[in-house]
Amino acid sequence: MSPIHEQGERFVQPTVPTYNPSVSDDTPRHLLDFRGIYRAFGRLKVLRNVNGQARDGELLLITGANGSGKSTLLRCLAGLMRPQKGRITCVQNGKDLRLEARRRQVGFLSPDVAFYSELSTLENLELFAKLRGVEPARGGQLLDRLGLPRNRRAGALSSGMRQRLRWAFALLHEPKILLLDEPLQNLDAPGRRDVCELLENHLTDGLAIVANPDPMDLPRVDHHVELAS
């Protein structure tokens, strides 16, 4: 685990090879690279010159105190928010994804993601499967894999079950790029074990960027970005 870059006043020298699209020796199948990301809300500068990268099979961990901009960074990477400065390069299966495609093809998990409380877990996943053009049966398979009841209304789930449903939503379309904001939040020990296993499986072919306030018990960490508050 080695820090790439630290935001704010302190700066840590890069200690892992840094991807530079113009001089890259090999083209990765999957890549998420962000350079000079800047985002402010009014006068509050949340992200200032943040850099990082993950390639095939790599996990990039983003840590930082509350309010340091981890969720904002992940929203920018997912295409749910535009950075005011900086560049994001997203390659999946060798194809450079533009904003609209990136938004629809990455797997995104965040505590802010909620589901239709009037619909059951299965109905929710079937809806998103239809919207993404995925076989609706995939939703049921993921619910079984994550130990979730199929017919319980999303509004009646416990916080841990909601987190499992977020995992199911993120993995529904079998994305190669996973963006996970506090992925172990509210999960019990078996739940953590299950999702760590899923993450490990994902990393055999894809990449993941994980944001959490503290370094946590992950299958592995290849790069680390620490955001200063």
Partner 1 sequence: MLSWLAETLAVLAKEWRCELRTRYALSTVGLFALSTLFMVSLSLGPMGSSSELRPVLPVFLWVILLFAASAGLPRAFVHEEESGTADPLRLSATPSAVFCGKALYNLSLLLLLEAFITPFFIGMLALPIASPVNFAIALLAGGIGLAVGSTLIAAMVAQAQVRGPLFAVLAFPILLPLLKIVVDASLGAVLGSPVDMALALAFLYDSMVTVASLMLFPVVWNP
**Minimum gap (Å) between residue 58 Cβ and partner 1:** 22
Judged by CB, which is closer to partner 1: 68, or 105?
105
**Minimum gap (Å) between residue 178 Cβ and partner 1:** 13
Question: Measured in whole angstroms, how far is the alpha carbon of residue 26 from the centre of its chain?
Answer: 24
Considering only CA atoms, give the Rg of the chain.
Answer: 17
**Minimum gap (Å) between residue 14 Cβ and partner 1:** 30
Judged by CB, which is closer to partner 1: 50, or 172?
172
126, 127, 172 from 136: Cα distances, Å: 5, 8, 9
Judged by CB, which is closer to partner 1: 113, or 221?
113
Phi then psi for residue 8, to 5 deg, are 95, -145
Judged by CB, which is closer to partner 1: 45, or 130?
130
**Minimum gap (Å) between residue 22 Cβ and partner 1:** 28
- Residue 200: left if φ>0, alpha if ψ -120 to 50, beta else—which one? alpha
Q: Given the rule CB under 8 A, which residues bind partner 1?
A: 78, 80-82, 100, 103-104, 106, 108, 110, 112-119, 123, 127-128, 130-133, 169
**Cβ neighbour number for residue 86 with a 10 Å cutoff:** 18
